[in-house]
Each structure stands twice: as C-alpha cells, then as structure tokens.
Amino acid sequence: MVAVAIAVAACAGVSNTPAQDLAYARWRACAPDSGLVQIDRVEPNGRIWFSYVLESDRQAVAACIVKAEPGGQALPEPVGVLRSKGGA
C-alpha cells in the first residue's frame, strides 16, 4: 500500500516544463484544423515532434512554431515525420 501511495504521489507532481507549455501554446496557434498534422510528443526542452501528410503543411507548421514574438523565447527546431495516407 505504501509503495502504491508513493507512486501515485510522484505521478501527481509531474508537470510540464515552461518550454513544454510554450510549445503546446505554439502548437495550438499553428496547427491546421485539417487533421492531416498531429502532434506526437514534446520534449522537456520544447522540441515538438509531429506527423504530417502534406509537405506544405509540414513547412507551414514548422515555420510558425519557430517564429517567436519579438523578444519572446525561441523553441528548438520541430521535427516533422511523414505519415502515410493509407489505412491500417
């Protein structure tokens, strides 16, 4: 029981880094609504990994994510991974 309580308490204390919070905010602002681009993960340093179908979407999302507000924090270059259009 004690081990379970410790494990639950440890998981409850896990939160995003400030860089991850910024990355998720940029993702929400940059990702198209088409469903052809999906976020896969965000590293603690803020690097976003995403999958895409169209190269034009990859380019647009990547450019948007790295574009910081004047004086704002820069994020690492995102990584786009081509996703096949076919089914399972």
d(CA 80, CA 62): 8
Q: How confident is the model at residue 3 (pLDDT cuts 50, 70, 90)?
A: low
With a cut of 70, say whether residue 11 has pLDDT above it: no
d(CA 77, CA 43): 12
Domain map (residue ranges) of the chain? 17-82
With a cut of 80, say whether residue 21 has pLDDT above it: yes
With a cut of 70, say whether residue 10 has pLDDT above it: no
Q: Is CATH 3.30.70 the classification given to domain 17-82? A: yes
Percent residues over pLDDT 90 in the chain = 67
Question: Which pLDDT tens digit goes with each residue over 33-70?
Answer: 999 999 999 999 999 999 999 999 999 999 999 887 78
